[in-house]
Amino acid sequence: MSVLNTMSATEAAAAIAAREISSVELVEACLTQIEKREPIVGAWVCFDREQALRAARECDATPPKGLLHGIPIGIKDNIDTRNFPTEYGSRIYSGHQPQRDAACIGLATRAGGIIMGKTVTTEFAMFEPNKTANPLNPSHTPGGSSSGSAAAVADFQVPIALATQSAGSIIRPSAYCGVIGYKPSLNTFAPDGIKPIGASLDTLGAITRTIDDHLLMWSVLQGMQSVQAPPVPARLRVGMCRTPFWHQAAPEQRTALERAGARLSRENIEVEEVELPAWFDSLNDLHGQVMAYEVARNHAFEFDAARRDLLGMRTRSQFELGWKLLPEDYLKARAVLHRARNEFDVFCKDFHVMMVPAAPGEAPLIQSTGDPIFNSIWTLLGVPALTLPVGLGKNGLPVAVQFVSGMDTDLFLLAACRKMEALFKEKMDCS
């Protein structure tokens, strides 16, 4: 059998249920990797060896009670946990201990999941870098804001980590770290107990190394006892879209998208080049307005003069921008947002899924978390998105493509991407 901490959650759950391995053995293997790599990667705000092993022993002593029975998971530190501090990446909340778990924590533990600890987030899940490094090259960023979640999964410290996205915070870190991130349709998973940025954008999702694990987590977070996936047509129709921001894509990202399209075409998948409506080139700016307005008002407490000096420069500037926007500006932006969502719903009916860039290119140096230019539009539209690593760039770091589809077609998107996942097991040279 392979090294236990490299197993997917789906594989490990089956092995635990069959008594081929124990939860204690799996958790021990993950803890060993965490303790070995934490000084280099810095994926964790906190983790608790004894608490994790105690939960694993309890799992081994009882029959499987759910889909995650005995499986270790990481939790982004903007999600409330009563057994671990939740600091939101901010000095303002140093040592903060919530009184109750977020809804997603309750659902994960009810399914038998073992909470290993809290993974690093940028300050209030925005743009201020934190301590985490890219596990594949520590001089480069893992991306943000789900920095620790992506790094921990990529480094085989846990098979699954919960994450959130309000701009590009799941897809971009997953692309940079070479793992699979899934941002669901807006409001697919319960947001209770997650520190908000903006109700128009905030989305709970997950980062894993396999799409089967995303199907598993979809079921867990819906409170289900079995995994479901719809059938996929024998011949998928994929719309390949360079997006209005193609000029911002680095050579390795351009190569990745084009070669991925060619590979799919060779596998009896219909790939057609498509262009978004011309006016969609304004949607990233629209995303910025909506996010700034909502985040400023959700953080009135933190922006108070008594605490303002504890904020990072990037966070403070985002709050300041939001307070310059007037309610009439926001309402105008919301009207355009509704129009865009309706128009995209019609646009994407001509194909099953759409393939677009996942990030500008390879992970940049660690001083920046990277640019969400290829992510914000899909977050604004509220549609499901998933990133698949497909190649390596000139620095030997991952390059990925992103798949999106219509609102609430999440299970179909996951099933379609599972069909394509195997085609990219052997990574292309995109340098």
Each residue's pLDDT expressed in tens, for the chain with a length of 431 residues: 459 999 999 999 999 999 999 999 999 999 999 999 999 999 999 999 999 999 999 999 999 989 999 999 999 999 999 999 999 999 999 999 999 999 999 999 999 999 999 999 999 999 999 999 999 999 999 999 999 999 999 999 999 999 999 999 999 999 999 999 999 999 999 999 999 999 999 999 999 999 999 999 999 999 999 998 899 999 999 999 999 999 999 999 999 999 999 999 999 999 999 999 999 999 999 999 999 999 999 999 999 999 999 999 999 999 999 999 999 999 999 999 999 999 999 999 999 999 999 999 999 999 999 999 999 999 999 999 999 999 999 999 999 999 999 999 999 999 999 999 999 999 999 99
**Residue 387: which of 332, 424, 350 has the closest Cα?**
424
Helix axes 147-154, 23-41, angle to 10 degrees: 120
Taking every pair of Cα atoms in the chain, the longest distance, rounded to a whole number of angstroms, is 61
The pair of structure tokens assigned to 353 is 């899924």
Can you name the residues that pair with 386 across neighbouring β-strands? Answer: 182, 403
The residue segments making up the domain with residue 19 are 1-431
The residues, ordered by sequence, that sit 6+ positions from 96 with a Cβ below 8 Å of its Cβ are 85, 86, 87, 88
Q: Which two tokens stand for residue 30?
A: 């993950």
User: For 281-285, which contacts have Cβ atoms below 8 Å and span 24 or more sequence positions?
Assistant: 281/244, 281/245, 282/336, 283/340, 283/376, 283/377, 283/380, 283/381, 284/245, 284/373, 284/376, 284/377, 284/380
Instruction: Provide the token pair at 1.
Output: 């059998």
Of residues 201, 26, 169, the one with CA closest to residue 89: 169
On the CB side of 157, CA atoms within 13 Å amount to 32
Instruction: Give bridge partners of residue 194 from the DSSP assignment.
Output: 79
* CATH code for position 402: 3.90.1300.10
User: Structural domain tally of the chain?
Assistant: 1
**pLDDT tens figures, 330-359:** 999 999 999 999 999 999 999 999 999 999
From CA 149, how far away is CA 41, in angstroms rounded?
11
Tokens of 341: 């969502």
Amino acid 318 reads: Q
Report the C-alpha gap between 404 and 402 in whole angstroms. Answer: 7
Q: Tell me how long the chain is.
A: 431
User: Can you give the pTM of this predicted structure?
Assistant: 0.98
- Look-up: residue for tokens 């690593």? 389
Q: Is 240 helix (H, G, I), strand (E, B) or coil?
A: strand
pLDDT tens, residue by residue, 232-250: 999 999 999 999 999 999 9
User: Which residues does residue 140 pair with via DSSP β-bridges, in sequence order?
Assistant: 365
Given a contact cutoff of 8 angstroms between Cβ atoms, the answer to whether 217 and 330 are in contact is no
